[in-house]
Structure formats: C-alpha cells, structure tokens
Amino acid sequence: MFPKNVNINEVGPRDGLQNETINISIEEKVKFINLLSLCDYKYIEVGSFVSPKWVPQMENSNIVYDKILKNKKTVYPLLVPNVIGLHNALESNVQSICVFATASETFSKKNTNASIEQTKKNIKEILKIAIKNNLKIRAYMSCVLGCPYEGKVSYKKTASLAKFLINEGCYEVSLGDTVGFGTPLETQKLIDEVSNKINYSKIAMHLHDTYGQALANIYASVQMGVSSFDTSVGGLGGCPYARGASGNVATEDVLYMFNGMGINSGINLKKVLAASKFIYNILGRKIASKTACAMISK
C-alpha cells in the first residue's frame, strides 16, 4: 500500500551544483534558491562548509545562506564536514545541518581522507555541539548500493552505521546510491536490512540515475514504506569522488510519477520547471529531466 504523502528534499543547490566547473555567482545561486522557495518545498539544501580548495563551487555558501529569502515552512540545511565547518555554520546562524558517512572504507578515505571509525568520532563531536545549539541534523550515507572502488558494500554495515547516526541525534538518514548502481530488488534488500535497525520513518532515499534506475528504485522504495526522497531540480548533480556518477534523479520526473500515482508532495511542478529553466540557462545546456523537456516542448 502506497503512502498518501511523501517528502521531497531538494538537493540541487548543493549536491546538484557541487560538480559544476563554471563560475556561478552568489547572486545567481541566491535567485535559484529563491525560485525553489516558491515551489513549496519543506527542505532545500543550500550549500556546504567544505573547503573551497576541494569543492570550489561551494565557496561563499554562508553568504548565499544569508542572502536567500527564507520561508518559515522550509528548512535550509548546509553540509558540515567537520567541527570547523560546524563553527562556521553557527557563526552564520544556520538552523539545520547535514553530516555524511559511508560503510565503504575506501570511499571514506577518498572522500574525506578519514577511515569509517575516524568519521564516526568526527560526527560524534559535531553532533554533541550541534545538539547543544539546538540544530536540526540530517545524515547522508554514500555508496549504499555499490562503491566505485570496492564494488558491493555490506548492507549490514550500512544498517549499523545508520543506527549509529540516528542514536547520536540525526533525525533522518538519507541512503545514497552515489554511483547509481542500484536496481529495484537490491534497493528493497537494502531497505529491509536498514529497517531492522531504524524505523522506516527515519529512512530517506537519495538515488542517482546513472544507469536509468532511479525512478524504478524510488517506486520500489515506496512499496517498502519509505516516504522521504532526495531529488535535484532538472537532474543536476554528480559526485566529485565517484568517477562516472551522473546526476541525481530529477525532481520533475519524481513529481510527475507521484502525481500520477495520487501521492501528494505538496510541491508545485510548474514552479520547479521555472527553477530548472533558470539554472540550466546559466549552465548553458539542456535540462536532463525528461518530464521538464516534455513540458517545455508543449
């Protein structure tokens, strides 16, 4: 039985843009996020406090956060990689943050130059301070359905790490198929394993569409009882530490599917399309979303 409502978490401004090499100005990012804020999202990921040396596109995320027009009903989180990033978030009066981890030892070292155990210690330190400051904390997990370096990643290890993140104070864990290896049955096996450790209500899915499986995997996830999904407007995105990983699943395609299933997200599809047009015009290329392209051609 499908849920009547789902949460759509928009990650385009951070996860969608982080891999882009062209210079996108602060003013353009602010306008992009303001357009997204008109769409009635509950969650729009603004940027991150990672070093611009490693992810140049995320430089000045604090300024972007300060300048955007914020809806009271919308959460505007920023990604925090370490305690220094957390202090930057606190100085910027950020109310919500994201932390990230993976059950792949190799990817962990490639991504953050830290082992899984070191990452867990780092996250514990971040969360201890964040909770004292009443921040809302969400967790991302990378490579849950396969790693570009290790191949298959243990679902049991992913489940245990998800439990650790929830126990330490995260309200939700977003399970990321970073390179898009997942297929529907494997997606359901993963969710089944993770749900043995944490409640379905605390599971979100973050699915990339590298092999064209994202919508099918979302459908499979909904069948399992998951109702929170990360999407990226127009299909923006990729991972700088996972070669060959293409964009996130497109927000427009997910909304079209859910609308057709009678599942409510509360998000205005036409306004999402306006945000897609804006950012893809800046990037100078065609929108990746099939739904967006079909709507534009009418």
Mind listing the pLDDT tens digit for each residue in 252-269?
A: 999 999 999 999 999 999
pLDDT, position 132: 98
Q: What is the mean pLDDT of the chain?
A: 95
Q: Out of 98, 143, 170, 239, pick the active-site residue.
A: 239
Q: What is the pTM of this model?
A: 0.95
Please say if 239 is a catalytic residue.
yes
pLDDT, position 298: 78
Q: What is the mean pLDDT of residues 61-84?
A: 97
Show me where the domains of the chain are located. 7-297
Using alpha carbons only, give the angle 290, 296, 298 rounded to the nearest 5 degrees: 105
pLDDT, position 243: 52
Position 70 pLDDT exceeds 60: yes
Q: What CATH number labels 7-297?
A: 3.20.20.70
pLDDT, position 240: 47
